Structure 1
Amino acid sequence: MVPYALIAEPDPHRAAGLLSLVAGEGLEGVLARDGAEAQEVVRQRNAPALLVTDLALPRVDGFTLLTWLRERKDASATQVVVVTAFDELRVRAWQLKDSLGIHSLLSRRAPLDAVRETVRRVLAGQRPLPVAPAEPSEEDERRRLERIAAMRLVDEGPPEEELQGLVTEVAHAFAVPVALLTLVLGERQWFKAHVGLPPSLARDRGTPRDWAFCHHVVQGKESLVVPDATRHPVFRDNPLVRDGIVGSYAGAPLVTPAGEVLGTLCVIDTRPLMLGTEDLAALRELARRVAGDLELKSRGHPALQERGRAPSDAAPTEASALAQLREAIQALDVATMLVAPGRRPFACNAAMAEMLGVPADRIPGMSFDTFCQYVEGLSASPSGRVPELDLAAESSRGLHLTLALELPRPRRVRWVARPFPIPGGVAQLLTLIELGGTAPREERERGLRVDVLTGLATRRAGEERLLREIGRCRRDGLPCGVLLVDLVGLGRINMTKGFDAGDHALRDVARRLDGVGGAAGFAVRWEGGAMLVALPGLDAVAVEALREQLLAEVDAPRVHTATSMVEGEEDPHDTLARVHAAMARAKLEWRSPPLTG
């Protein structure tokens, strides 16, 4: 197999630079936007010759990725270069460099030429030259604190109602219990607005700066995501983590037009946080807008002064809110449509019109169902199935689907619908995010989220969704079941009747499973002839009834089945291990039925 360099980098602009850099060294570059995607690439292609990675990756962080990689027998020769903005993460990685197999650690502030020279020396087996990062100076920190003071952002009064509303909406949108708008001061972080904090922290409105995850965001001037703080070598001993307040974290910097970082807009959960790159991009955009509003307010900008008044005749209406949002989406490069309360397409931007090949003024005249039918008409699916296009449930943090568009040109896109309240109801932003080219090799490397043969979610997509559903069920106090289904004798079918017959049998099983768990359930092509059905909200009795129903079906391919329930606070991977063990027992019992007298 052709040697390749794996670039684990969520920022598309930096990723493009790194891909160009490794191409100049004669390596094929493969991009992964997060740690889980990097793992999937390695599973499909084996270990790379070179890995260039950040340590703060979504879904699976860089430390976990490196630990996992070094457990693979084929990764002993993989050269690793870490490039990260976060000094304390880099220092900890240096302490663990031997066990993690790191050959060089660089600050993201290092010049590109230094990164290129480091990669060359690492690939040649030479000792990298030391690179002194351009560290923030004490003078930069002094100016930053003076700017916070000059803007008069810290006060002893209660949090502003407008900002409280913002963090409440952010917590709801990201389905987390805690959201904060923080200012990082000299010795502490201060919560300018907050929702979901324990009473003691809410009363104090802050913590020591040494405890603050947000300190790292300010120091690195970058968004930081910690998918599982309880296992992270830098954060697991943090007092907030030990006390069970922070289990995971994602924060984006509040950056002024002059480039100073005031603090963060961040979200926190007590459990692992499975945010993707699109989620982080949305958080960054919100933080940018909040920082701009704080800047304007500090200058006494008339528009913001008017916004702060509350006479009844100036109260925002649904029409005024939609009009402002329509103007805002026109500036976005991502294909975006604004859907008004009542599922009414209200406006779309030029990027959406270009992607779908339809005039922008035509979309507001459609019903939402007509719009979905139009998109389905542009779609192509190798399995003949198109995901059911819809808006998100108003109580959810969003709907995510992946589909292939055949027209106006072939491409794969991510359909993301997010609800948010406005006067008069709940509106939604629908975005279509292009996932890259449709060349077969690129699709294999990036990992399809929809299985080509069955049309079900792939294992990677299914694991991600399953973890989210388990977290949601735990928060809502609901049960969550798992059903594993394995086609009997797939290998024998392929050998005796041909692979077309085996594929037909797999598609038959997939059709039986798709939708079997109701609106909340979903099926996943797990591996080989095995498919997993997640059943959030169903108890053990209901899960067993579904299993027996599958086994009782006639004129259908025979299947092995096994079930398991998520128990308490166990790791979801332990749940999967138990259902796999149950499946192994079921197969053994089928091959060796009990003797009867």
Structure 2
Amino acid sequence: MALYALIAEPDPARAAGLLSLIQGEGLEGVVVRDGAEAQEVVRQRSAPTLLVTDLALPRVDGFALLTWLRERDDAAGTHVVVVTAFDELRVRAWQLKDALGIHSLLSRRASVDLMRDTMRRVIAGQRAPPPPPPESSAELEQQRLARIETLKLVDEGPPEAELQALVTEVAQAFGVPVALLSLVLGERQWFKAHVGLPPSLAQDRGTPRDWAFCHHVVQGREPLVVPDATRHPVFRDNPLVRDGIVGSYAGAPLLTSSGEVLGSLCVIDTRPLMLGAEDLSALRELAGRVAGDLEQKARVRQAAQGRRDTGRAPLEPALTEASALALLRDAVQALDVAVLLVAPGRRPFACNSALAELLGLPAERIPALSFEAFCQHVAGLTADPALALRQLDLASESSRGFHLTVALERPRPRRLRWVARPFPVPGGIAQLLTLSDLGSAAPARDERERLLRVDALTGLDTRRSGEERLLREIGRCRRDGVPFTLLLVDLVGLGTLNATRGFDAGDAALRDVARRVERFGAPSGFAVRWEGGTLLVALPGVDASGAEGLRQQLRADPGAPEVVTAAIGVEGEEDPQGTLARARAALARAKAERKPAHPG
């Protein structure tokens, strides 16, 4: 057992606080943002002296992480502190404390002093007392329900077209069949907007509150992710899980400006959900934006009703939209900071030379782009365009400000602070986007995250990020009814090449193979450095005959390093891990068949 503390916490600010407490007790602290990353650290370093973990972790939840840890021979002495916002998860964990080896359970609302005292006791080998019963505040619940009533969010009419479009876009962005905008009422949850639900739930537009995963989001006031509900000790007996409607869940709270949680914005799949911590953060930001929009629309309705009640006609605007934007354009172009003026309807209207220079785009071209095309250009300058595009898209028209940090790789490494400031103009809501250059030195966490996702030698995805993409793509292809093939490619004699000609020669050969297989994955697939000299190519939409053609191309390339290949198609509802196991076995057989029967 190694002398370090492992902190599994998706929220960077809370992770930093826990790390400070750990370091104050003289232990080295290692921070990870999901359960799968925690497993990888344990595999590399062996079990820690202390594990501090949430129960709602992306990719592998806290219950599954603890179960896996207790199966390791080197983890018998690992002390475990659970810190979570979700009362019912905490109660269930305490019931399983002996099997999971939990020494203490704390609420996220616990004071710093209580957390510090608990860490000291657990490190010393003492078990903490049972957790206090879940907090109950009827007054806060009444305030929350009153806020929903004041905003007039529940109605008998059909879902609003704008909100329906929103949840549809969310489902597509996260690669899931179901997305909901759910309000949690007294005894039930009600779907203000929804996509992908079975007809019975869509007709009812809700479920009993006891069934609602969103209830836990409201209670905990935090995002909740359940990567595999069918195996989760709290959710596996939920009627929605038993009926196959919910196999996995991720939801973020609709938090108002005055602090009430109206419900949640959530995504649901029938299969395990491999969203990472960045995805959960993006969902949280989007939920905050939606809550702000709901409040803003309520204020507009109330103002209009007030004018009708008093018999006063609305005042005519002093400016038209065009004249207001023209005045703002002159001001924007005079600024030294990089600024983009976005007109109502998400239409880039004007920018200044500082923005054009920062992004490498001619200033006159930017107003001709759509907002989506502008975001795509910025995302294309990052190391992970798909993730960056999803985050940037959150900075759309909103009643609340939005800000995030974007790490650019091109034309040179730098970090940008992207801030969206919405404001009213005649005709709608405009936006002022400012991009501030934070410098070229990426923070340690960003650099570490990049190294975990991009293999430094080949430039391909690492196994960690590749697994996330692979599971999502398999699920998408199943839903769309298209084939999916895995191609494993192993560089022959890499160890011998390293030993006889040096590691530079081995690295060059592996990079050569990586460039070749990367072309096979384009445009819809992708390549991953799986392990050592083995690369994996994900081929969505490619069947067995197409994969065989690619294998022939690899073998027929004259002068290229020799490789051994194996291709496996995804079969029916097979677990993706089972598909990977079959692919590895096929590659092992191919390597064995290649070896000469009589060496020498």
Using structure 2 for the length normalisation, give the TM-score: 0.79
Cα distance in 2 for residues equivalent to 1:362 and 1:462: 35
Quote how far apart the aligned CAs of 1:229 are: 1.3
Kept after mapping to 2: 8 A contact 1:109/1:133: no
Deviation digits for residues 193-212 of structure 1 (CA, Å, limit 9, x no counterpart): 22221111111111111111
1:454 and 2:458 correspond: yes
Q: Corresponding residue for 1:182?
A: 182
Quote how far apart the aligned CAs of 1:407 are: 8.3
Cα distance in 2 for residues equivalent to 1:153 and 1:41: 45
2:559 counterpart SS class: coil
Cα distance in 2 for residues equivalent to 1:279 and 1:336: 27
Deviation digits for residues 48-93 of structure 1 (CA, Å, limit 9, x no counterpart): 2221111111222111222222233333322211100111111221
Kept after mapping to 2: 8 A contact 1:349/1:360: no
Cα distance in 1 for residues equivalent to 2:573 and 2:235: 20
1:557 and 2:561 correspond: yes
**2:544 corresponds to which of 532, 540, 544:** 540
Q: Corresponding residue for 2:251?
A: 251
Q: Corresponding residue for 1:25?
A: 25
Deviation digits for residues 446-465 of structure 1 (CA, Å, limit 9, x no counterpart): 85211111111111111111
Kept after mapping to 2: 8 A contact 1:118/1:129: no
1:43 counterpart SS class: helix
Q: Corresponding residue for 2:228?
A: 228
Quote how far apart the aligned CAs of 1:484 are: 0.8
Structure 1 residue runs of 5 or longer lacking an equivalent are: 307-313, 327-334, 380-385, 416-422, 424-428
Cα distance in 2 for residues equivalent to 1:280 and 1:349: 33
Q: Corresponding residue for 2:260?
A: 260
Q: Corresponding residue for 1:137?
A: 137
Deviation digits for residues 508-545 of structure 1 (CA, Å, limit 9, x no counterpart): 21122111133112111111111111111100111111
Change (3 A) 1:528 1:192: same
1:125 and 2:129 correspond: no
Q: Corresponding residue for 1:310?
A: none
Kept after mapping to 1: 8 A contact 2:379/2:385: no
Cα distance in 1 for residues equivalent to 2:547 and 2:537: 10
Cα distance in 2 for residues equivalent to 1:432 and 1:465: 31
Q: Corresponding residue for 1:510?
A: 514
Cα distance in 1 for residues equivalent to 2:302 and 2:140: 30
1:31 counterpart SS class: strand
Deviation digits for residues 268-309 of structure 1 (CA, Å, limit 9, x no counterpart): 122222222332223222322332333344455578889xxx
1:91 counterpart SS class: helix
- AA aligned opposite 1:518: A
Quote how far apart the aligned CAs of 1:98 are: 2.1
Cα distance in 2 for residues equivalent to 1:242 and 1:371: 41
Kept after mapping to 2: 8 A contact 1:513/1:523: yes
Cα distance in 2 for residues equivalent to 1:390 and 1:223: 19
Quote how far apart the aligned CAs of 1:593 are: 4.6
Change (3 A) 1:16 1:303: farther
Cα distance in 2 for residues equivalent to 1:404 and 1:39: 29
- AA aligned opposite 1:548: Q
Structure 2 residue runs of 5 or longer lacking an equivalent are: 307-316, 330-337, 395-405, 419-426, 428-432
- Identical amino acids, percent of aligned pairs: 69
2:521 counterpart SS class: coil
Greater shift in the superposed pair: 18-27 or 161-170: 161-170
- AA aligned opposite 2:550: L
1:358 counterpart SS class: helix
Using structure 1 for the length normalisation, give the TM-score: 0.79
Matched ranges for 1:356-435 at <5 A:
358=358, 405=409
Matched ranges for 1:265-344 at <5 A:
265-300=265-300
Cα distance in 1 for residues equivalent to 2:482 and 2:29: 44
1:193 and 2:193 correspond: yes
1:483 and 2:487 correspond: yes
Cα distance in 1 for residues equivalent to 2:359 and 2:562: 50
Cα distance in 2 for residues equivalent to 1:15 and 1:436: 24
Cα distance in 1 for residues equivalent to 2:484 and 2:279: 25
- AA aligned opposite 1:182: S
Quote how far apart the aligned CAs of 1:568 are: 0.8
Quote how far apart the aligned CAs of 1:102 are: 1.6
Cα distance in 1 for residues equivalent to 2:378 and 2:216: 46
Kept after mapping to 2: 8 A contact 1:89/1:234: yes
Kept after mapping to 2: 8 A contact 1:35/1:57: yes
Quote how far apart the aligned CAs of 1:371 are: 11
1:215 counterpart SS class: helix
Deviation digits for residues 3-36 of structure 1 (CA, Å, limit 9, x no counterpart): 3222211112211111111111112222212222
Cα distance in 1 for residues equivalent to 2:88 and 2:437: 33
Quote how far apart the aligned CAs of 1:107 are: 1.1
Cα distance in 2 for residues equivalent to 1:47 and 1:489: 34
1:147 and 2:147 correspond: yes
Change (3 A) 1:476 1:432: farther
Cα distance in 1 for residues equivalent to 2:582 and 2:360: 51
Q: Corresponding residue for 1:49?
A: 49
Change (3 A) 1:264 1:27: same
Cα distance in 2 for residues equivalent to 1:468 and 1:73: 32
Quote how far apart the aligned CAs of 1:467 are: 0.9
Kept after mapping to 2: 8 A contact 1:454/1:507: yes
Cα distance in 2 for residues equivalent to 1:34 and 1:552: 42
Kept after mapping to 2: 8 A contact 1:297/1:305: no
Kept after mapping to 2: 8 A contact 1:249/1:267: yes
Cα distance in 1 for residues equivalent to 2:201 and 2:374: 49
Greater shift in the superposed pair: 181-190 or 16-25: 181-190
Deviation digits for residues 187-239 of structure 1 (CA, Å, limit 9, x no counterpart): 21111222221111111111111111011111111111112212222111111
Change (3 A) 1:232 1:134: closer
Cα distance in 1 for residues equivalent to 2:551 and 2:321: 48
Kept after mapping to 1: 8 A contact 2:103/2:126: no
Kept after mapping to 2: 8 A contact 1:170/1:179: yes
Change (3 A) 1:130 1:200: closer
Change (3 A) 1:72 1:548: farther
Greater shift in the superposed pair: 44-53 or 125-134: 125-134
1:484 counterpart SS class: strand
Kept after mapping to 2: 8 A contact 1:45/1:445: no
Q: Corresponding residue for 1:569?
A: 573
1:10 and 2:7 correspond: no
Cα distance in 1 for residues equivalent to 2:520 and 2:438: 30
1:463 counterpart SS class: helix
Kept after mapping to 1: 8 A contact 2:171/2:178: yes
- AA aligned opposite 1:116: R
Quote how far apart the aligned CAs of 1:547 are: 1.2
Kept after mapping to 1: 8 A contact 2:2/2:47: no
Q: Corresponding residue for 1:39?
A: 39
Kept after mapping to 1: 8 A contact 2:104/2:129: no
- AA aligned opposite 1:20: S
Change (3 A) 1:157 1:437: same
Change (3 A) 1:15 1:374: closer
Matched ranges for 1:431-446 at <5 A:
none
1:103 and 2:103 correspond: yes
Q: Corresponding residue for 1:496?
A: 500
Quote how far apart the aligned CAs of 1:413 are: 9.5
Cα distance in 2 for residues equivalent to 1:165 and 1:298: 19
Q: Corresponding residue for 1:463?
A: 467
Kept after mapping to 1: 8 A contact 2:182/2:191: yes
Cα distance in 1 for residues equivalent to 2:51 and 2:340: 37
Quote how far apart the aligned CAs of 1:133 are: 6.6
Q: Corresponding residue for 2:528?
A: 524
- AA aligned opposite 1:492: T
- AA aligned opposite 1:554: P
Cα distance in 2 for residues equivalent to 1:244 and 1:336: 48
